[in-house]
Structure 1
């Protein structure tokens, strides 16, 4: 058998295989008819939790949806994402409510007060009928330290969040209760990080 005939047979088998795969895929997709606002959690020790969430924010923005970002930890937040988002003031609401990680502030009561203020702002934006996508960046951090009661967050997301609003929550150590009620949960796994080799945060990569 010549190489051309061999390639032709392989191509034919591949085409038949993909045809069957497409038919099976189309059958599965036909059963997916629900439209709803999702609760999404990005957690884990690996990089990319907020980055992936901002990717979703940009995607939503690209469709002309109004979005909001509530930053629970970083107060003096000056990142590449922020600089891009600020170019669309008619579509984007940004609120940086924290004053840094708790080991930086070293003031537990101030951290609790900031977390409460951020959550109140978060609820307001989630309930805004004009806003389709809300990113609660690093909410998992304040929940980890019990600066906010997890029961309150769960109750709001389950009973008060509008049906068509997407809410994305980021940060390490997501609470089990939050994972349980979320529609989509992704855990970022750390395999290798330049910080361990003495490399500081790089513009355009970390911020």
Structure 2
């Protein structure tokens, strides 16, 4: 999806053809094919965020329009975007919808840079993995999470030591090296 929002009629046509709904990923791929015959999504995180934002901006606008006209209810979630029969009252649009407000304000798109996207992703991974992932990663690098001097520089130093020790080219174990690399990826999200 490019920097312009997809026309609501394209979205409506795609969603009508998929009564079971589509994930955000599937919808972005189909829109991408529709617009330029290239079914790939951007690999750059900022461009992917922009595609996501523009899609949700358009979806919320379409949802408001469909509701105002009494045509349908549009369920919006990254895992399932689908049209549902219109039902006044019970599924009426809420007055206070922080996500809707966020996506309808194009200033958020304009003001969000690559560093902001990286911070959002880091926070997402922290919530997803919780402290258990951090503890496991520290254990994989044989580090004490309660050590006062523990920071990214200390973690990187320990990582380099373990990579040197466990690299398969030096007689180490591939699986152990993979655990060390995975632990480092996890810890970089916690220690910035």
**TM-score, length basis structure 2:** 0.23
- Relative to its length, the structure with more strand (as a share) is 1
Return the structure number with greater relative CO, CA threshold 8 A, min gap 6: 1
